[in-house]
């Protein structure tokens, strides 16, 4: 899903904190996408909490490593949307942002710096990719306390060792509570 280049914006951009403009399908798609994210995030969080309770962060790394991509795939199939996660500082290089995603991640950082609530940072846009109209959407993922066990700046030694083993190019560390860890990214052909 991160292979597209040169997305061309066709319609006005919709920011949830701004006014709804132009194409009413933007709003409908955004609402639908929010439902897809909610379901995906609910499952992810469930697995994370379960893993942390059962075995702590070291064993839960395996959960994130295997279960997160599997859940993204399952929710993509269930919803008909292309569902994933991305970030400016990656753990798994497979989650690398494409040009559109990179611009939105940077926009989210700027909007957060300008005072917007990180929990509400959302963007939806209709773009053209390879001659087809596509609805694209991202929603920011702020860092919570539990995330710092594996993404913070004081990661316990056995956790860091396991991360080093699985992700030799890991950049997803040093986050503080409230920082933007990344974003959900969704795509649907129109």
Query: How many angstroms separate the CA atoms of 36 and 163, rounded?
Result: 29
* 149 lines the binding site for ligand HEC (CB under 6 A): yes
Structure tokens given for 20: 């709804």
| Residue closer to ligand HEC, measured from CB, 57 or 124 | 57
What is the β-pairing status of strands 122-129 and 8-9? antiparallel
- The residue within the footprint of ligand HEC, chosen from 14, 61, 104, 140 (CB under 6 A), is 61
36, 186 Cβ separation under 8 angstroms: yes
162 binds ligand HEC (CB under 6 A): no
User: Which tokens in the block code for residue 13?
Assistant: 């951009």
For the chain, the farthest-separated pair of C-alpha atoms sits apart, in whole angstroms, at 52
Nearer Cβ to ligand HEC, position 14 or 71? 71
Contact 66, 165 (CB under 8 A): no
Q: Is 181 in the site for ligand HEC (CB under 6 A)?
A: yes
Q: What is the DSSP letter of 99?
A: H
Q: How far is the CB of 18 from ligand HEC (least distance, A)?
A: 24
Does position 26 interact with ligand HEC (CB under 6 A)? The reply is no
Backbone angles phi, psi at 166, to 5 degrees: -85, -30
Terminus-to-terminus CA distance in the chain, angstroms? 16
Sequence-distant (6+) residues with CB within 8 A of 62 are none
92 binds ligand HEC (CB under 6 A): yes
Which residue in the set 15, 29, 76, 95 belongs to the binding site for ligand HEC (CB under 6 A)? 95
Paired tokens of 141 = 């993922």
Shortest distance (Å) from residue 108 CB to ligand HEC: 12
| Residue 172 contacts ligand HEC per CB under 6 A | yes
Q: Is 141 in the site for ligand HEC (CB under 6 A)?
A: yes
User: Which stretch in 18-26, 28-36, 112-120, 148-156 sits in contact with ligand HEC by CB under 6 A?
Assistant: 148-156
Please give the residue ranges that form the binding site for ligand HEC (CB under 6 A).
Answer: 48, 57, 60-61, 64-65, 68-69, 85, 87, 90-92, 95, 141, 143-144, 146-147, 149-151, 172, 181-182
């Amino acid at each position: 899903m991160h292979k597209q280049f040169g997305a061309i914006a066709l319609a006005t951009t919709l920011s949830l904190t701004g006014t709804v403009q132009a194409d009413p399908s933007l709003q409908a798609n955004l609402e639908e996408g929010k439902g897809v994210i909610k379901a995906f995030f609910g499952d992810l969080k469930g697995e994370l909490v379960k893993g942390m309770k059962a075995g702590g962060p070291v064993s839960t790394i395996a959960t994130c490593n295997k279960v997160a991509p599997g859940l993204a795939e399952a929710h993509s199939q269930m919803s008909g949307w292309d569902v994933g996660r991305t970030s400016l500082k990656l753990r798994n290089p497979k989650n690398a942002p494409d040009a559109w995603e990179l611009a939105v991640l940077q926009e989210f950082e700027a909007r957060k710096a300008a005072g917007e609530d990180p929990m509400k940072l959302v963007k939806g846009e209709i773009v053209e990719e390879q001659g087809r109209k596509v609805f694209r959407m991202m929603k920011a993922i702020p860092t919570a306390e539990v995330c710092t066990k594996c993404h913070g700046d004081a990661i316990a030694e056995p956790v860091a060792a396991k991360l080093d083993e699985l992700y030799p190019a890991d950049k997803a560390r040093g986050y503080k509570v409230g920082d933007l860890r990344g974003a959900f990214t969704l795509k649907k052909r129109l």
